[in-house]
Structure 1
Amino acid sequence: MAQGWILLILIVSMVISFLAADPPDQPSKPECHIPCDDICGVDIHCRWNHRFDAQIPTSYSLHWETADRIEGHVNTGTRLSGFVHREHFSMNSELRVWVQAENKHGSAKSQVVVFNTEDLTKPSPPIITWSHEDPLEISWSSICSEMHLSLGSCDVRYRIQAEELWEEDDVGAQVNYEFSGPAQPGVVYEFQVRCSCATGLVSDWSATHRIRSAEEAPTGQMDVWKDCGVLTTNADCVMTWKKLPISQAHGHIMGYEVTLFSKHSTTVLVNISVADPRGLLVCDELKCYLNSTLKSVSSASVSAYNAHGATVPSLLTIPTAGNVRSGNFIDVKMNMENLTVSWQLPSQHPNTRPFKEYVVQYKQTGRLLGKGFDWIRVNKSCTTVTFTGHFKRYWPYQVSLFTVTPDQQSHHVSSVISYSCHGIPAKVRSFKVISIAETHATLFWEPVLLSMQNGQVLSYEIGVHGQMAVYNVSASPQDQNNTFELQNLSADQEYEVWIKAVTKAGPGPKVTTSFITKQQHHLQLKSKSHLLSLLIPVIICCVLVFLSFHKGASKACLCMNEKVPDPYNSTIYQMMTYQANESISWISIPIFEPHPTVSALEVVEIQRPLCEDQTKSPVSSEGCTRKHRYGKGEYSKMVDSEDEKDMSKVTGRDDCWSSTEEEQDSSGYERHFLPTAEEILNS
């Protein structure tokens, strides 16, 4: 049952499609003639026009009816021409002709054409046999005389070479023509002629005949400009100019005369022949450029010459290097066929000083100087220009606007990059982190190369792996510094970030990088405070030692410097001090040495006092002035005792020792290292 319904639906659809289809359009009425070259033919040639539809094949048939009501036809298939053979008609008689078009949806009939077969003779086109350039004149021959017929009427048409429209004159029954209007000098004119005989149809147009008018010296000035690449004020430029139009060239341009004025007040004259440019001149259909750098040139001029003279030299000033200005003054609309530029300058713009005209140029980036480059000069009242041509897709073009003063000084106003169409950009060249803190990091990237952007980069997308947020960074010249700061990060944590360039066509490939944020600040402070707690006991010990050496205020001390081992630096002594001074243990932290030995002492400079008591009577030399010997005995033994007298042996805090005590203790540290006062004075 379902299959029956499907079949019914298909049949109905086919019927509807068949009924909805239109029959072929009506063909044009046929044009028929009997061709006559050396002699006239015998068959009638007919042709017609019809709209072609590749989806619906159409076949044609040529139909005729004689004065005797005899009909005939010939099928021509898909061809738009056919023949009525001589046996189907009589000369000097009436003939009706029409065309029938037919396809699977129906048929259509053209209008019926009625003519006398005697009037269908058509002579071959005339042949132009002679011409003269000054004044412009041509003459021709016709086949009418060979057909033993008199000449009917002739038409002449002419135009300047490469122009589209023809001018036409009816010259009557004659075989020559003289150009009546003022001919432009040195211009190539094209001529064609057609004629009819006394009876029959007019011929087709003859082959084109070309004549160059008499030459004169060229007039006007060359349109000269400079191509400095995408850096519009770069000193490395080439001079380029447009070929003179026909109306100014007045003949064949034989070459160009170029004058270069250097920055060192020297002048170079270069004569370049078009026939033999010697590599100095490169030309296309519309422009030429001097294949030489202008780095040391301050200005230049160029003129074109032919066999009769030269144009007035056109001056060009070469700009010095400077910054390329940019701004929102230019609006560009571009596709692969057209480039339209419009602008609106503010009245206070620095380069709107008095000027006479604008120059708008475009440069295809990546092309050599002189290539992929064009410009248009317009009046200062104009604010829109359009370039036509073939612009490459996805390729950047720099569009620049200049003002030109009456003395040909040019000033750059603004430049923008534009594309005929946009594609997906390539990836950024590099992506890295340039600074890291606890809760933020600064990212830096190198933008996509201009030749690989495939369109205008509108922005950059930046994201963090594992997070939904995506940051959009503008790529406009005013905002672009290629950096971005990620905020609200966690301390001491690893992050992976990515970046994409974005055009109108969408984002490009992703580039990633990783980093770890710094630790929290209070951890750093804790580490510093721990180090400070280790230094406090050392500082206090130094203060105590200093005070112990200055307890006796009534002594006049004669001091000397000597490098000796300092027992106060010993870890053992520090431990002893810690045990003996438990009341200040809150500022003392014990330090443990792996192998404590007394010999592990630091050698320092100390102030050793030689004391003379100024408040007591003189005593024997062994009383208050201590005598010491070098090289005697061993290091005196330290004792761990709280007794002040015993500690005085270590610290030396007594004002004076008795000779007996000195003898008892002199076998230790003092007798081994400390000299006597007499030894010092006699030394």
Structure 2
Amino acid sequence: MATFRTRWRLSILLVLLPNCLAPGPPAAPSLPDCSIPCGGLNNCADIHCSWDASPDPQITINYSLHWKTACREEEHVITGPSFSGIIQREHFSHGELCVWVQAENQHGSAKSQEAVFNTENIIKPPPPNVTSSHKELVEIDWIPTCEELHRSLGNCVVRHRTETNPDWIEAEGGIRSYTLDYPQPNTVYEFQVRCSCGTGLPSDWSAVHRIRSAETAPVGELDVWRDCGMSQASFDCVVTWKKLPTSQACGLILGYEVTLSYNNGTAVLVNMSTAEPRGLLLCDEMQCHSNFSLKDVSSVSVSAYNAHGATVPSYLAMPKPGKEKDEQAIHLVMNVEHLNVSWDLPSQLLDNLKEYVLQYKQAGSPPCQGFDWVKVNKSKTTGFFKGHYTKYTPYQVSLFTVSHSSEVHHLSSVIGYSLQGTPPSVPSFKVFSIAATHVSLFWESVPLSKQNGLILYYQVVVDSGVNGQNVYNVSASSLHESEPFKLLHLSPGQEYEVRIRAVTAAGPGANATAKFKTKHHEDFAHVIAIVVGILFVVVICVLLAFCSFCRGENKVCPLVPPFFYDKVPDARNSHIFRHMKHQTNDPWAWICIPIYEPHPKISLLEVVEIQPWAFKSSLEKITNTDRLSRPVVGDGCSQMDHHDNQREEAVTEECHRTDHRYRREEYSKMVDSDEDREEEEEKREDCWSSTEEEQSTFGYEKHFMPTDFELLEV
């Protein structure tokens, strides 16, 4: 049943559709507009009529112009498919006339409304001729054509506009002249005039007549800024300014005066003429800039001048030394034709904040090219640029604040693209510092001018072929040029392949690939063994050097075993106590510790094989048995009993002076003469007599030879 209903509805549509789509009669034309144009002296004859219609491109429509008078029957002229027609002078008489248009095609016809008019009221005179003008008053004169037609002059209308404005302004004019009130100085104005004769139609507009108003001194100030390239901390800046609009220039700008104030307090005035654009001054349609150096310049002021005066100088302070800081986040919405920028209010507003300055700079462009700026009121947080922005090209957008004292402070900068693409391969990809479980990777960032988009991160893919792949995303903002990236937790002795590519909003770029093989743990053990060996040798050398110093001072180093010393008796053994006061000022006393013995005696002797008769001869020489109870001390003087301590101290002091003077030379070198020997023996006898010892005994034997009692004990 549903199928039958569907077929029934389709059959009805097939019957009605051709009737709905079938062409019909044409639409009715508009009311005809008729006039009698006068082409010359009293040459006002034919009636020209025109109308509007909606033609059908598939069907030809023919139009016919019809008219009739009160005394005659209807007449018409076949015109064809055009939208205008002419009624010849011989086909009508002056007076009231009724005109309409008929449209006809193969499916029918349509008629327009009838236009009824008097032929005297449709006479259209030729446009007037503007003969002269006055620049000082911006005034024009013209000659009407009604007198030539022997007709009375009706109304005249004047319209004007500036050369850069497409809209006309109409004003009622006089009979033969018109003066413009309050014209802008040095501005080109365009004028047109049309007049009517009597009650007839107004003429067509006259030809455009141009006049430039008189010049005056320029007004206002120049919009001055500086282009420091991509780095706002750079001091290689170029001062630039925008040209004055015509309404402010008030004449032809002949040049600019630039005053440079230096840090040392001096000032230099530079006059740059527009007649020499290839000199210090370079200008395009909108901006001008100078190419002189701004080194050591603290501020700049610029003014424009013409033949009648100059503008007020515009002041701009140069950036101060200091590190560039981003203190404010800004947001971009950018395409090929528009750049919209927004930002939040700074956390700390300046009390004397005057305005914001928003600028953009194309990366890699020459000074003042691909560069523009706009000044924004301090109450606003948005800025807008209109222009043509190249695809895949970085633009740096920067935000500044300007105080009432003209100090400039950089708030923030961000890179934007009108359209982003995939980046190229990273340059200089290297693998170094290869260890058993980690390696270091180094690559250079893609240059800003070649990135084709804002790089979000660098993707590092590590493939071992055994354990699969590991992927690391390294943020481009946290990556420093001199800082390598370390791959950790690698397997020793394993071959790896590492790939890196940059990623933008458009996708990843081309890969850079490198291969490496990690080291084994044994290599690290060898390195440790070598380092330990080198340290051991260094320690031994240092100890030997210290001990050499100690041996030079006849001291003992506790850090060195005793077998490093020669088994030679110390001839100065008796001076141990006296030398203690000298060692307190020795900087090496904490290392080389002197031997301290309260009762020094030699207990270790060098064993030498001798003949029995020699030993017997030595025993016969020893006759004083009191020596068994008096140990040898000092430098050869015997220690007395407790009751003789005062006398012993005096004697010991005298002996010490003697030994210190001669430095024990009697044991180190030969006595050269008998006089020296006798003098030395006298000193010895004086020393030994104070201690009641035998005068014939030598000092060396008293110091180091054992007593008879000690020999018997052995």
Q: Using structure 2 for the length normalisation, give the TM-score.
A: 0.64
Q: Secondary structure at the match of 2:248?
A: helix
- State the partner residue of 1:381: 379
- Structure number with the higher strand fraction is 1
The equivalences for 1:116-135 within 5 A come to: 116=117, 118=119, 119-135=121-137
- Contact 2:130–2:140 at 8 Å: present in 1 too? yes
The equivalences for 1:124-523 within 5 A come to: 124-171=126-173, 174-179=175-180, 181-326=181-326, 329-348=329-348, 352=350, 354-465=352-463, 467=468, 469-475=470-476, 477=477, 484-519=485-520, 521=521
Shift in Å, 1:491: 1.9
Change (3 A) 1:217 1:72: same
Task: Report the Cα distance in structure 2 between the residues aligned to 1:284 and 1:148, rounded to whole angstroms.
Answer: 56
Q: Secondary structure at the match of 2:525?
A: helix
- Contact 1:324–1:415 at 8 Å: present in 2 too? no
Q: Secondary structure at the match of 1:300?
A: strand
- Contact 2:30–2:113 at 8 Å: present in 1 too? no
Task: Report the Cα distance in structure 2 between the residues aligned to 1:359 and 1:326, rounded to whole angstroms.
Answer: 15
Which letter maps to 2:136?
D
Deviation string 1:323-365 (CA, Å, 9 cap, x unpaired) is: 333355211111121111111143248xx46321111111112
Shift in Å, 1:264: 4.3
Task: Report the Cα distance in structure 2 between the residues aligned to 1:416 and 1:75, rounded to whole angstroms.
Answer: 66
- State the partner residue of 2:548: none
- Contact 1:221–1:303 at 8 Å: present in 2 too? yes
Task: Report the Cα distance in structure 1 between the residues aligned to 2:84 and 2:413, rounded to whole angstroms.
Answer: 62
CA radius of gyration, larger in: 2
Q: Secondary structure at the match of 1:218?
A: coil
Change (3 A) 1:87 1:127: closer
- Contact 2:255–2:305 at 8 Å: present in 1 too? yes
Shift in Å, 1:64: 2.1
Shift in Å, 1:58: 7.8
- State the partner residue of 2:597: none
Change (3 A) 1:127 1:480: farther
Task: Report the Cα distance in structure 2 between the residues aligned to 1:74 and 1:235, rounded to whole angstroms.
Answer: 77
- Contact 1:438–1:491 at 8 Å: present in 2 too? yes
Which letter maps to 1:142?
P
- State the partner residue of 2:80: 75
Deviation string 1:586-633 (CA, Å, 9 cap, x unpaired) is: xxxxxxxxxxxxxxxxxxxxxxxxx9743653699xxxxxxxxxxxxx
The equivalences for 1:518-597 within 5 A come to: 518-519=519-520, 521=521, 524-525=524-525
Give unpaired runs (5+ residues) of structure 1.
1-8, 534-549, 559-610, 621-683
- State the partner residue of 1:569: none
Task: Report the Cα distance in structure 2 between the residues aligned to 1:73 and 1:445, rounded to whole angstroms.
Answer: 85
- Contact 2:239–2:290 at 8 Å: present in 1 too? yes
Task: Report the Cα distance in structure 1 between the residues aligned to 2:257 and 2:440, rounded to whole angstroms.
Answer: 58
Match of 1:46 among 50, 56, 60: 50
Shift in Å, 1:225: 0.9
Shift in Å, 1:280: 1.9
Deviation string 1:24-63 (CA, Å, 9 cap, x unpaired) is: 9998766554443334463625364879x9xx67866443
Shift in Å, 1:402: 0.9
Task: Report the Cα distance in structure 1 between the residues aligned to 2:270 and 2:407, rounded to whole angstroms.
Answer: 23
- State the partner residue of 1:625: none
Which letter maps to 1:44?
H
Q: More deviation in 65-74 or 405-414? A: 65-74
Change (3 A) 1:182 1:496: same
Task: Report the Cα distance in structure 2 between the residues aligned to 1:46 and 1:267, rounded to whole angstroms.
Answer: 73
- Contact 1:126–1:142 at 8 Å: present in 2 too? yes
Q: Using structure 1 for the length normalisation, give the TM-score.
A: 0.67
Change (3 A) 1:134 1:432: same
Task: Report the Cα distance in structure 1 between the residues aligned to 2:293 and 2:84, rounded to whole angstroms.
Answer: 65
Task: Report the Cα distance in structure 1 between the residues aligned to 2:221 and 2:49, rounded to whole angstroms.
Answer: 55
Q: Secondary structure at the match of 1:471?
A: strand
- Contact 1:316–1:408 at 8 Å: present in 2 too? yes
Change (3 A) 1:308 1:439: same
Which letter maps to 1:46?
S
- Contact 1:60–1:99 at 8 Å: present in 2 too? no
Task: Report the Cα distance in structure 2 between the residues aligned to 1:25 and 1:324, rounded to whole angstroms.
Answer: 73
- State the partner residue of 1:614: 608
- Contact 2:35–2:48 at 8 Å: present in 1 too? yes
Q: Secondary structure at the match of 2:247?
A: helix
- Contact 2:424–2:510 at 8 Å: present in 1 too? yes
Change (3 A) 1:60 1:405: farther
- State the partner residue of 1:94: 97
Q: Secondary structure at the match of 2:239?
A: strand
Change (3 A) 1:97 1:509: farther
Which letter maps to 1:151?
L
- Contact 2:301–2:316 at 8 Å: present in 1 too? yes
Task: Report the Cα distance in structure 2 between the residues aligned to 1:185 and 1:99, rounded to whole angstroms.
Answer: 55
- Contact 2:423–2:502 at 8 Å: present in 1 too? yes
Task: Report the Cα distance in structure 2 between the residues aligned to 1:161 and 1:458, rounded to whole angstroms.
Answer: 49
Shift in Å, 1:414: 0.9
- State the partner residue of 2:636: none
Q: Secondary structure at the match of 2:146?
A: coil
Task: Report the Cα distance in structure 2 between the residues aligned to 1:328 and 1:489, rounded to whole angstroms.
Answer: 42
Which letter maps to 2:97?
E
Q: Secondary structure at the match of 1:436?
A: coil
- Contact 2:432–2:441 at 8 Å: present in 1 too? yes
Q: Secondary structure at the match of 1:312?
A: coil
Change (3 A) 1:121 1:531: closer
- Contact 1:186–1:212 at 8 Å: present in 2 too? yes
Change (3 A) 1:551 1:363: closer
Which letter maps to 1:414?
S
C-alpha RMSD of matched pairs (Å): 4.2
Deviation string 1:98-134 (CA, Å, 9 cap, x unpaired) is: 58699x9x99979646253724443333322122233
| Count of residue pairs brought into register by the alignment | 527
Task: Report the Cα distance in structure 2 between the residues aligned to 1:292 and 1:132, rounded to whole angstroms.
Answer: 43
- Contact 2:305–2:311 at 8 Å: present in 1 too? yes
Change (3 A) 1:108 1:449: farther
Shift in Å, 1:184: 3.1
